Amino acid sequence: MKCSNAKCGRKIDRPLELYDGRWACPYCRSIIGDTGGNFRITAMSDATFVRSEICFLRWLSSGRGKYGKEGMKLLDRAVSLCKDAALSGHPEAAIRLGYYYDKDFVETNRSETARCRVAYNYYASVCFGRAEGALTVEEGLTAPDWNGLRRKAAGLLLGMLAYTPEEFDAIDTYNFERNRQRAEKTLGISFTMRRASGASESDRVSETLAVLRSCETAGRSPLFGVLGMSGGELKALTQEKAFYPMLSRKRVRLEVFAAGDDGTVSESDRPQPFTNKRLIDKVIGDYEGKKVYLYFFNARGSRQVERALDAGNGRLIKELIAGGEKTSYVFYDDDIAMYDKSGAAKAAGRLIDAVCNRQEAAI
């Protein structure tokens, strides 16, 4: 594909895949693909999406072998083809990709808030798209019902937000009621669904362990992140069988930031390194009844980025906690590349500044 920025226009073999699901040109850093708000269906993208749907339906009907090696290859193929179609601007592919993240069919090492953040961008790009002119169709193809697609995306978006954890609903961008009102105003229809009372909390222990273990995998693995949890959940995490072997292999570095009553971390507080079982057993009781943030850094990551994040007792991490709506974030090498204008160290600061200024929520 080519970059949609007229000043760039270069051929892109692989776009930057950002932490919130958006894609960017690796050359000019412009946001591209479906989340740019312009959709186009071509014969090629439509055929790719149809192949993706066939793979997904075959996977759904594969019975007991669904989660076996061959079954997962089929699901991976469905997701890969869907991404290709969405990158080309196919709106139905964008909705389906949001569904894959929403229902935890793809990148299962992400936390629930991370998956919802990605799914939101895909759903919202269609739901809140323009009524006219947002979709063009190649000659000879039948145009889908654009408003019908927008209503479908809205229903899936609100259905997801109705059951997100309370801490995610507290973020203005992802607040259920705010999005319901926006969808009704945009589409001119009413939605009867309401925010579920007592929406279930995510299993932060299992999710956190999955994120940390993914640092050991080949391919696309996290670079660093901040994962919010309670002191009790942190203790439960350290009691997981896979926790200490991961530390002993030195694949991931961990530090804990304890938050005050307002959920933020004092500028003067030093983070507590989690390096071995003896130390952890000694300090774990100090976090009982507190909100904590577990900071991790992939040992295979850039030393420049690591030093930038460590500077000033973790100043940038504290800024992320305070300005990032006190929720969890997981970042990748592509996120650093997006903001790398004069070195990876400065890129880390630009990335966190962008997150804290809510630029990741732009549609």
Residue 344 CA to residue 322 CA, distance in Å, equals 22
pLDDT for position 360: 43
Q: Is the pLDDT of residue 200 over 80?
A: no
| 180 — pLDDT class (breaks 50, 70, 90) | very high
- Which residues does 130 contact at the CB level (< 8 Å), separation at least 6? 37
Please give the average per-residue pLDDT across 98-119, as a whole number: 87
Q: Is the pLDDT of residue 362 over 60?
A: no
Please give the average per-residue pLDDT across 70-74, as a whole number: 92
* pLDDT, the chain, mean: 89
Residue 163 CA to residue 333 CA, distance in Å, equals 30
| 198 — pLDDT class (breaks 50, 70, 90) | low
pLDDT: which is higher, 181 or 168:
181
Q: How many CB atoms lie within 10 A of CB 83?
A: 22
Please give the average per-residue pLDDT across 21-28, as a whole number: 88
Residue 243 CA to residue 249 CA, distance in Å, equals 11
Query: Do residues 137 and 40 touch, judged by C-beta distance below 8 A?
Result: yes
pLDDT: which is higher, 115 or 132:
115
Q: Is the pLDDT of residue 33 over 60?
A: no
Contacts 24+ apart (CB under 8 A), 212-220: 212/246, 212/252, 212/254, 212/296, 213/109, 213/242, 213/246, 214/109, 215/251, 215/252, 215/296, 215/298, 215/299, 215/300, 216/246, 216/249, 216/251, 216/252, 217/109, 220/17, 220/332
- Picking from 136, 132, 145, 128, the residue whose alpha carbon sits closest to that of residue 187 is 128
Global pTM reads 0.83
| 361 — pLDDT class (breaks 50, 70, 90) | very low
Q: Is the pLDDT of residue 35 over 50?
A: no
Query: Do residues 337 and 301 touch, judged by C-beta distance below 8 A?
Result: no
- Picking from 223, 275, 269, the residue whose alpha carbon sits closest to that of residue 249 is 275
Please give the average per-residue pLDDT across 241-265, as a whole number: 89
pLDDT: which is higher, 15 or 100:
100
Query: Do residues 59 and 70 touch, judged by C-beta distance below 8 A?
Result: no
